[in-house]
Amino acid sequence: MADTATDPILVAKDLVKHYPIKGGVLRRTVGHVKAVDGVSFELRRGETLGIVGESGCGKSTLGRLLMRLEEPTSGTVDFDGVDLFSKSGSEMRRLRRDIQIVFQDPYTSLNPRKTVGDIVGEPFEIHPDVVPRRGRRQAVEELLELVGLSPEHINRYPHQFSGGQRQRIGIARGIALKPKVLICDEPVSALDVSVQAQVVNLMGRLQKEMGLAYVFIAHDLSVVRHISDRVGVMYLGKMAEFGTEDEIYERPTHPYTQALLSAVPVPDPTLRGHREQIMLKGDVPSPANPPSGCRFHTRCWKATEICTTDVPELVDRPDGLGAHRSACHHAQVRQVIETVDVSGDAATTRLERIEAHVAGEKAPGDGLLDKVAGGLATAAHEVRESAGSLKERLTAESSDDDTTLDPASPEAQEAFRRHRDDPTG
């Protein structure tokens, strides 16, 4: 999917976003929600960068920062060599032509009182020099067609469309100005699986046609694997691991990535009981009061003394084949999922054969595919059997599921100290 050019188009450096927590009668700042706390990465031209993480890890805030919908507490975002946050209003508006966003919820991100034509055409109103007034209607119709909607629906309102169709409208609006970067904040999470595949395929097609670079923010690791060239895994406002799709999914070195991957259910009942599952205890701690040192140490089964004191840096660490960035003191590669390469045309062949059957023709090479599949299944089973004997079920020892904080805990005391020393934040 990646373009030949590997020079970065978007570079984020040490991005930090803290939201103040107001409390007391005087509405003073009593603390901060550390939504994004020092995130650096680069997005290359024409690539898809997946950002995954659980709710509250700061991935959506990161997306909004990249668009400058939020001002950062500190840090920079360079777009094509230009510092985004140093730009004034009108300059920023011009820059936004090249960075657009598609929001998660297709039900609330479209104005219910505007027609589809108005919504998709609005970018042209803000940037009138892109398409002359006369050609706008036609441009909107072309966009609708591009995303698979009927151009005749230009005068309809959002409520007349289904969820998947609305997400297509959001995408049409996002690509109207032919941006270089499209930030997609959970674009398919609200959709049913059959419709989700349509939208994912559409996004892949648009990328090929327009050379778009995507920042694809999602919590669904399967979708992210499918669409991404490189992947960043976030936990509590920090990047835990960052690498190519293969590096993250086949050679993860961060315990959090390993636990996350092992928790995703795989739609294959034959793997039941054979899959290694790392069961994490408890929930994600509050970003208002993140654990000291490595933020994952409270749920990590590998945590030692150093993890509670030193923040591990996101640097290249060996992963067996090479090295990729991982923020863990005890980074060690561990394969948690068995990847099967299906880039062949098994799926389409099967489809064609069924079609042939239904049409009453004799399908060519009938038993062959089954034979190959059978052989593969046997081989996979053998691998699994041998892996099974080595399998160990891990449980993280410490748990952090208390929403109320134990006043004696080091976290609580540290938080107390922070508040006392720096009451204004």
Partner 1 sequence: MTTTTQPRGRRDAQATASDYRPGPDGLLLEVDDLHVEFHTEDGVARAINGVNFDLHAGETLAILGESGSGKSVTAQAIMGILDMPPAKIPRGAIRYCGQDLLTMPDEQRRKTRGPEISMIFQDALSSLNPVFPVGWQIAEMFRKHRGMNKSDATAQAVRLMERVQIPAAKQRVRAFPHQFSGGMRQRIMIAMAIALDPAVLIADEPTTALDVTVQAQIMALLAELQEERQMGLILITHDLGVVADVADRIAVMYCGRIMERADVLELYRRPAHPYTLGLLESIPRLDQKGQELSAIGGLPPNLLRLPSGCEFHPRCRFVQDVCRRDRPELTAVVGAAPGRESACHFSEEVHRG
- Show Cβ contacts of residue 323 under 8 Å, excluding neighbours closer than 6 positions: 316, 317
- Pick out residues in 321-350 that bind partner 1 (CB under 8 A): 337-343, 345, 347-348, 350
Given the complex with partner 1, which of 12 and 202 has the nearer CB atom? 202
In degrees and rounded to multiples of 5, residue 13 shows phi and psi of -125, 120
- Pick out residues in 99-118 that bind partner 1 (CB under 8 A): none
Structure tokens at 66: 């990249």
Q: Residue 53's closest CA among 77, 36, 71? A: 36
Give me the 379-418 binding string for partner 1, x by CB under 8 A, dash otherwise.
--------------------x-xxxx--------------
Among 16, 130, 210, 264, binds partner 1 (CB under 8 A): 264
- Please spell the DSSP secondary structure of 246-277, one letter per residue: HHHHHS--SHHHHHHHHHSPPS-GGGTTTS--
Of the ranges 97-105, 205-213, 255-263, 303-311, which one interacts with partner 1 (CB under 8 A)?
255-263
Radius of gyration in angstroms for the set of CA atoms belonging to the chain, rounded to a whole number: 24
Among 108, 150, 222, 304, binds partner 1 (CB under 8 A): 222
- Pick out residues in 158-217 that bind partner 1 (CB under 8 A): 162, 164-165, 192-198, 200-201
- Pick out residues in 41-60 that bind partner 1 (CB under 8 A): 54-55
**Sign of CA pseudo-dihedral 139, 143, 146, 152:** negative
- Pick out residues in 227-246 that bind partner 1 (CB under 8 A): 245-246
281/370 Cα distance (integer angstroms): 42
Of the ranges 37-45, 103-111, 205-213, 258-266, which one interacts with partner 1 (CB under 8 A)?
258-266
Given the complex with partner 1, which of 65 and 227 has the nearer CB atom? 227
223/201 Cα distance (integer angstroms): 11
**Sign of CA pseudo-dihedral 242, 248, 254, 257:** positive
Chain center to CA of 404: 30
237/233 Cα distance (integer angstroms): 10
Query: Does 268 contact partner 1 by CB under 8 A?
Result: yes
114/260 Cα distance (integer angstroms): 41
Chain center to CA of 193: 17
CB distance 188 to 167 below 8 Å: yes
What is the nearest approach in angstroms of partner 1 to the Cβ of residue 351? Answer: 7
Among 76, 244, 277, 292, binds partner 1 (CB under 8 A): 277
Kindly state the DSSP code that residue 395 receives in the 8-state scheme: B
Structure tokens at 62: 């990161």
- Pick out residues in 122-151 that bind partner 1 (CB under 8 A): none
| Total number of residues that touch partner 1 (CB under 8 A) | 65
Among 259, 294, 307, 327, binds partner 1 (CB under 8 A): 259
What is the nearest approach in angstroms of partner 1 to the Cβ of residue 267? Answer: 4
133/91 Cα distance (integer angstroms): 22
What is the nearest approach in angstroms of partner 1 to the Cβ of residue 412? Answer: 15
Q: Which residues bind partner 1 (CB under 8 A)?
A: 54-55, 162, 164-165, 192-198, 200-201, 219, 221-223, 225-226, 245-246, 249, 259-261, 263-272, 277, 279-281, 283-284, 337-343, 345, 347-348, 350-351, 353-355, 357-358, 370, 399, 401-404
